[in-house]
Amino acid sequence: MNHPQDVNPTVLPSGDNPRQLGPYRLLRPLGQGGMATVYLAYDCEQYRQVAVKVLADALAYEPRFVQRFYREGSITRRLSHTHIVAGYGFGHDRHSGKHYIVLEHVDGPSLQVWLDDAGCMPLSQSVRIILEVASALEYLHSQQVVHRDIKPGNILLDPQGHVKLIDLGLAKRIDDLRDLTLADQG
């Protein structure tokens, strides 16, 4: 277990990027999408590394995007499955004005990065990944949730090569599917 003194200092560039959101010390960016940037962070209360997804500033004052972001945080936090990244919480930092979601940190590449680097995958590993994704999707369905954005970039591989499904930003509850949207819409 890492303690505060064991964690590398923050390496974020200076500027508008906060170094701390609530009890989460942001260490470095892990990735960026259209709606948010994900940071490796240190949870100073639980003494663990986490991933903190921060809503883009350009969307932070658009109610429909903020609502969608919080829906993702709420859905993720309620889920508990071996092959779905765990959600620990979400909120709004008063000091920086940032909206954020706190997630389990998975120390491994996305399936997309892995495939880009390796080119191909042994059949046995491909089958295991497909079965693990199917297990995650079956669980989501049992929880009345549809992911709606399954792709290699939203499948992380942990150090043992097992799947962690991520990015529930487009997820919807089955009882709320009357309002289906395209990926680039609310």
At which residue do the structure tokens 């658009």 appear? 62
Cα–Cα distance measured from residue 102 to residue 89, given in angstroms and rounded to the nearest whole number: 5
Cα–Cα distance measured from residue 142 to residue 5, given in angstroms and rounded to the nearest whole number: 42
Residue positions counted in the chain:
186
Catalytic residue status for 149:
yes
The helix/strand/coil state of 44 is coil
DSSP 110: B
At which residue do the structure tokens 């487009």 appear? 170
Q: Of residues 116, 149, 175, 179, which has the active-site annotation?
A: 149
Work out the end-to-end distance of the chain between its first and last CA atoms, rounded to an integer number of angstroms: 39
User: Strand 24-32 to strand 20-21: parallel, antiparallel, or no bridges (unpaired)?
Assistant: antiparallel
In the sheet that 24-32 helps form, which strands lie side by side, from edge to edge?
Answer: 20-21, 24-32, 36-43, 48-55, 99-104, 87-92
Radius of gyration of the chain measured on its C-alpha atoms: 17
DSSP 9: P
Give catalytic residues, as residue numbers: 149
